[in-house]
């Protein structure tokens, strides 16, 4: 009905000289005049307020981006980067190497499981001090058999690698990781490195990340940068590469240097197992379990380090459908997590203020 009224008003030229309710003669003219009053008195004010709010948020975001860019230039100018307190190059003593658990969560991965498993199995780390868990949540029998056969192949080569398959697939990736951390032998390990099925860490990944934990008992996470093997595949992958490069090069690097906190990317990172246990472990309450555990760890006082020069190869979504699915999870999950953590963040800030006053 309103569309018809608007169309008649346009044909009669009323949008140039709007009629008033008092002077309107025809019923359509009076209806259009009344609709104009409703728009001006009831619809325009909240829309104007919403517009002003959007402008304020845009300005805040713009200032944030400018600060991040300035911080990035400062880091490059001063050549600031995290320094490792230990090196494992040339060490032959097995006891010098911490116990590291490597986890590869996957689900129906037919195309990339071989590359990811192989990349983890050839890590330049003492074999006696490393255990690889292939956490297969596949619900297709042929995919399970392929992954299990790949694991057995590396077991025959002397690699300490296990295949785990859950009968009840609850909680998606968070439930998969939570189930793996409940194994009795996990207590013997100090660190856990996590790689998604499409990630291929370099052979020296552990030797470049683990040393940063030496002498830093409050350090929970060492996060590496993503590098994309298919960044030039099409226009979509090129745009994603630009966007994610800004995220890693600017956002995470600046936050890592100046704040010691950033969101865990869910893969290509090494966690201190004690920190995971201290903040409650993996929870199945949200689709962004990586950001969830990072926030909870930060609220518990743990710190993070981002290594911009340590890269882990992975693939970008090449189709629009895959990209849309990924972005939906990345954007809806943080809002869901905000609802869960808002009160905890306020309480943590209040406790911090009380401690500052006490000191």
Which candidate in 137, 196, 198, 292 is catalytic? 137
Which candidate in 136, 196, 198, 290 is catalytic? 290
Q: Residue 253: which of 76, 59, 84 has the closest Cα?
A: 76
Alpha carbon distance 33, 323 (integer Å): 46
SS3 for 29?
helix
Contact between residue 217 and residue 302 where contact means Cβ atoms under 8 Å apart: no
Residue 176, phi then psi, degrees to nearest 5? -65, -50
Q: Residue 178: which of 100, 265, 120, 105 has the closest Cα?
A: 105
Rg of the chain over all Cα atoms, to the nearest angstrom: 27
142 among known catalytic residues: no
Alpha carbon distance 38, 7 (integer Å): 18
Kindly list the strands in the beta sheet with 200-201, ordered across the sheet, starting from the edge strand earlier in the chain: 161-165, 130-136, 100-106, 191-194, 269-272, 219-228, 303-314, 200-201
Neighbours of 247 (CB within 10 A): 16
| HSE-CB of 32 using CA atoms within 13 angstroms | 25
Residue spans of beta strands (DSSP E) within 71-148: 100-106, 130-136
CA end-to-end distance (rounded Å), the chain: 67
Alpha carbon distance 197, 315 (integer Å): 10
Which residues does the annotation mark as catalytic?
137, 290
């Amino acid at each position: 009905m309103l569309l018809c009224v608007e169309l008649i008003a346009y044909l009669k030229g009323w949008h140039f000289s709007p009629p008033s309710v008092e002077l309107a003669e025809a019923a359509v003219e009076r209806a259009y005049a009344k609709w104009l009053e409703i728009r001006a008195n009831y619809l325009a004010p909240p829309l104007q307020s919403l517009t002003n709010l959007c402008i304020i948020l845009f300005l805040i975001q713009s200032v944030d981006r400018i600060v991040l860019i300035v911080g990035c230039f400062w880091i490059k100018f001063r050549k600031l980067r995290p320094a490792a307190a230990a090196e494992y190059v040339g060490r032959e003593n097995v006891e010098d190497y911490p116990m590291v658990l490597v986890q590869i969560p996957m689900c129906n991965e037919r195309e990339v499981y071989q590359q990811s498993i192989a990349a983890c199995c050839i890590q330049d780390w003492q074999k006696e001090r490393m255990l690889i868990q292939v956490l297969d949540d596949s619900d297709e029998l042929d995919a399970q058999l392929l992954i299990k056969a790949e694991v057995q192949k590396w077991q025959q080569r002397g690699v300490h690698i296990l295949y785990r398959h859950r009968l009840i697939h609850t909680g998606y990736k968070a439930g998969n990781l939570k189930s793996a951390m409940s194994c009795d032998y996990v207590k013997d390990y100090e660190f856990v490195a996590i790689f998604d099925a499409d990630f291929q860490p370099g052979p020296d990944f552990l030797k470049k990340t683990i040393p940063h934990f030496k002498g830093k008992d409050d350090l929970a996470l060492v996060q590496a940068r993503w590098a994309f093997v298919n960044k030039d595949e099409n226009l979509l992958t090129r745009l994603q590469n630009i966007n994610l490069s800004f995220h890693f090069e600017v956002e995470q690097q600046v936050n890592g240097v100046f704040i010691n906190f950033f969101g865990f990317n869910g893969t290509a990172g090494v966690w201190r197992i004690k920190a995971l246990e201290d903040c409650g472990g993996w929870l199945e309450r949200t689709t962004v379990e990586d950001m969830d555990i990072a926030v909870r760890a930060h609220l518990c006082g743990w710190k993070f380090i981002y290594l911009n020069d340590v890269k882990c190869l992975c693939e970008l979504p090449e189709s629009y459908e895959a990209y849309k699915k990924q972005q939906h999870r990345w954007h809806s999950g943080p809002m869901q997590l905000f609802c869960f953590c808002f009160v905890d963040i306020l309480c943590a800030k209040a406790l911090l203020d009380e401690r500052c006053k006490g000191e």
